Homo-oligomer: A and B are copies of this chain.
Amino acid sequence: MSTRQRVRPGGRSARVQASVHTAVRELLEEGGREALTVPLVAQRAGVTPSTVYRRWGTLQELLSDVAVERLRPDTAPEDHGDLRSDLTAWAEQFLDEMTSASGRAYIRDALLGDPDGDNAGQCSAYAAEQINVILARAADRGEHGPDVETVMDRIVAPMMYRILFRPAGLHAAYARRLVTGLFAGRGKDEQ
């Protein structure tokens, strides 16, 4: 959430947010972001431009909020029967989504219109929540796993760093290698 929108809105406020977000997504699909302006978004959403400015401040902050909403996972990670398979499948899917053209654009938007870092923090929290589901499931099976921050450092951080700073050669094999490396470094009693 941007500075101007820290609380979850309800009622009319929620309807305005939903229609503005929908307008942004539709206009992005139709014409790309070059042509996007606040008046255009407002017209499509059926609100006044000043409503948009009051709530989001700038187009960039609005795009950042929309991007975070799009980056929210809509399903729990798949259960493949053991921790290593679960992490591998999740990492492959995460990398695939984030390296897509729209994934890269959303990551960029989320960071750019977010000077206080709240939206970036939310993106990171989404990944951590997914990993926590995988780790809790492993614990239920009696598997010993790493903690969530270790998985963030060893799996999520390298993928996200490379997407932003070093994007050559990012394929599923890279995601698998990260998971293999995480397990290779662990003692037998931990696995």
Interface-side segment among A78-86, A118-126, A129-137: A118-126
> Pick the contact of A161 from B156, B178, B185 — CB < 8 Å?
B156
Is A138's CB within 8 Å of the partner chain B? Answer: no
We find that the number of chain A residues with CB closer than 8 angstroms to chain B is: 25
Is A9's CB within 8 Å of the partner chain B? Answer: no
Contact check, B153 vs A158: say whether CB atoms are below 8 A apart.
Answer: yes
Q: Which residues of B contact A162 (CB under 8 A)?
A: 157
> Pick the contact of A164 from B120, B153, B167, B178 — CB < 8 Å?
B120
Query: Quick one: closest B residue to A117, CB to CB?
Result: B167
Is A101's CB within 8 Å of the partner chain B? Answer: no
Is A152's CB within 8 Å of the partner chain B? Answer: yes
